[in-house]
Amino acid sequence: MADAAAAAARRLRAFKRWMRAHGVVCSDALSLDVSDPLGVHVRAATPLRDGDLVATIPRGACLTPRTTGAAAAIEAAELGGCLALTVAVMYERAQGADSPWDAYLQLLPDCESVPLVWPAGEAECLLAGTELDKIVKQDKEFLCEDWKECIEPLMLSGELDVDPDDFSLEKYLSAKTLVSSRSFQIDSYHGSGMVPLADLFNHKTDCEHVHFTSASDASDSDGEEEEDDRSDASADDKPTTKNPTSSPPGSRANDEDLEIIIVRDVNEGEEVYNTYGTMGNAALLHRYGFTELDNQYDIVNIDLALVTKWCTSIFSGRHTRARVSLWRNLGYSGCTSQDTEYFEIAYDGEPQLELSILLYIINMKPDVYDKLICVAHGFVSDEEHETICNVFKFVKATSSNQNSEVNGLEKLPDVKKLLHSESVCSALLSLADMRESLYGSNTLEDDEEELHACCVVNERKLYHSLVLRVSERRILRRLREFASSGSKGRKRKHP
């Protein structure tokens, strides 16, 4: 333990020398704390005030596909985005002490503990039923393909003169985890890169203390991400330096330094946080290997396939297909990712509007449905809730079971109120149960108890996967509360 602490302190001293040699200026007001085995923390050595400039970093000090010794080979192989940066990181790591970034790279972990590099059996078991269950398996498949198609040929071409062990699939996945958890969009010339010092700040949702910006930053606008890696599910959330679009793509580098500026006061001794974006726990664990308790951006998804499974357990397959088709003809769809269509359940348990509308249509009485399909095309509007308003009005006019609440129906809250019907809520309760069953036989209370007893330092994978499971299952509990409030005291009837 003492040896590990001494080695960490040595690496930090070497990094500080490296910063001085490369023109990276870090204010004495920031202290870099390497005493935690889980990683570096940046702290305030003295009180920090909004507007304080605490560091400047020359763009040339950043490790990018342009600045690496492998730049020519990367360009010749026409690698772009995340793949190009991952090759740059692998190449510089392979150079060891000869790499200009050696002291910086030595400060980084071998890999970030994201599910991509968890042993396959462990990932399967720990993530069963969660939002990451399928994604991690797909990631691995895509990255293996990328390695076979791009990295192996580059290595075999001899252009880089590297030891094949340094470009193995395992090393590729490790470098990829660093790129996914630490890279920034710098500017259109450098693209995405590793920014020494800037990548030492940890994340806190909606409570960051620092912003990264360039010296001539006038526009204060985030840059466009040049991202071609299909497995990089949350590329939108990547932290960016500000004003990166000031030079056109492919033009010469902008030589202004990147700056780190305080945007929220920090007391002496407190940790100085950045934000990596507004992300739920699934995205945080997927990309960065950690989670946050009580994360307001958490969601849980219900696949359309689960909805149709529920529907066919009550109605016929024909009924299911016809109702989904009417829903689509009214202009509705779910969210899509790769080959899956799904609906989001928000942190507070509220289902995505499109899901409630689908359940409403599924439960519609056959005679009303038969009349509606003939006129549905005329109801479609650009305003999603206007379409469903038209449907409500039609149902009211057609159905014997007239609903006076339809009068004056204009705003989204009115629509939501009508969708909070007995039949929709009862379907939501069934869907919550079906979604919950994917987690296996443990109850939410079992998971909460296990989380309570779990040590984040010694059982990091278990801890963060439990936070993810518990967060998702609490949302399902809130969905049940939401749905139960809709069915209370009402008689079961068709909409």
Ligand X SMILES: C[S@@+](CC[C@H](N)C(=O)[O-])C[C@H]1O[C@@H](n2cnc3c(N)ncnc32)[C@H](O)[C@@H]1O
Q: What is the DSSP string of 107-155?
A: HS-SS---GGGS-HHHHHHHHTTSTTHHHHHHHHHHHHHHIIIIIHHHH
The structure tokens listed for 235 are: 């590329």
- The answer to whether 199 contacts ligand X (rule: CB under 6 A) is yes
Q: Does 39 engage in binding with ligand X (CB under 6 A)?
A: yes
Single out the residue of 196, 289, 349, 351 in contact with ligand X (rule: CB under 6 A).
289
Shortest Cβ 182–ligand X spacing (Å): 4
The helix/strand/coil state of 344 is strand
Closest CB to ligand X among 272 and 359? 272
Contact between 130 and ligand X per CB under 6 A: no
State the nearest-atom distance from the C-beta of 35 to ligand X, in Å.
Answer: 11
Kindly state the DSSP code that residue 25 receives in the 8-state scheme: E
Q: State CA 354 to chain mean position distance.
A: 22
Closest distance of CB 463 from ligand X, Å: 10
Question: How many residues line the site for ligand X (CB under 6 A)?
Answer: 14
Residues 178-197 that bind ligand X (CB under 6 A): 181-182
Smaller CB distance to ligand X: residue 91 or 290?
A: 290
Which is closer to ligand X, CB of 190 or CB of 464? 464
> What's the chain's length in residues?
495
Per CB under 6 A, contacts with ligand X among 266-285 are: none
Alpha-carbon gap, residue 21 to 27, rounded angstroms? 15
Closest by CA position to 315, among listed 354, 351, 370, 361: 361
**Burial of residue 33, with CB atoms counted within 10 A of its CB: 0-12 exposed, 13-18 middle, 19 or more buried:** middle
If the CB atoms of residues 205 and 430 are measured against ligand X, the closer one turns out to be 205
Q: Which is nearer to ligand X, 176 or 182 (CB)?
A: 182
| CB 189 to ligand X: min, Å | 22
Compute, in degrees rounded to 10, the torsion defined by CA atoms 457, 459, 463, 465.
130
At closest approach, how far in Å is the CB of 113 from ligand X?
Answer: 7
Q: Which range, of 51-59, 167-175, 198-206, 332-340, touches ligand X by CB under 6 A? A: 198-206
Which parts of 204-233 interact with ligand X (CB under 6 A)?
204
Complex with ligand X: residue 129 or 277, whichever CB lies closer: 277
Q: Least Å distance between CB 89 and ligand X? A: 14
**Beta-carbon neighbour count of residue 224 at 10 Å?**
12
Cβ-based nearer residue to ligand X, 43 or 204? 204
Q: Of the candidates 167, 288, 310, 394, which one interacts with ligand X according to CB under 6 A?
A: 288
**What are the structure tokens assigned to 345, written together?**
């359940």
Rounded to 10 deg, the angle between the 366-375 and 384-398 helix axes is 130
Nearest to 213 by CA among 203, 224, 201, 223: 223
Of the candidate residues 52, 92, 112, 422, the single one contacting ligand X (CB under 6 A): 112
Residue showing the smallest CB distance to ligand X in the complex: 39
Q: How many CB atoms lie within 10 A of CB 210?
A: 24
Question: How many angstroms separate the Cα of 67 from the Cα of each of 64, 97, 192?
Answer: 5, 17, 11
Asked if residue 40 binds ligand X (CB under 6 A), the reply is yes
Cα 157 to chain centroid distance, Å, stands at 35
CB nearer to ligand X: pick between 288 and 379: 288
With respect to ligand X, which residue has the nearer C-beta, 288 or 332?
A: 288
Specify the stretch interacting with ligand X by CB under 6 A; choose among 144-152, 230-238, 286-294, 346-354.
286-294
- The residues of the shown chain that bind ligand X, judged by CB under 6 A, are 39-40, 112, 181-182, 199-204, 288-290
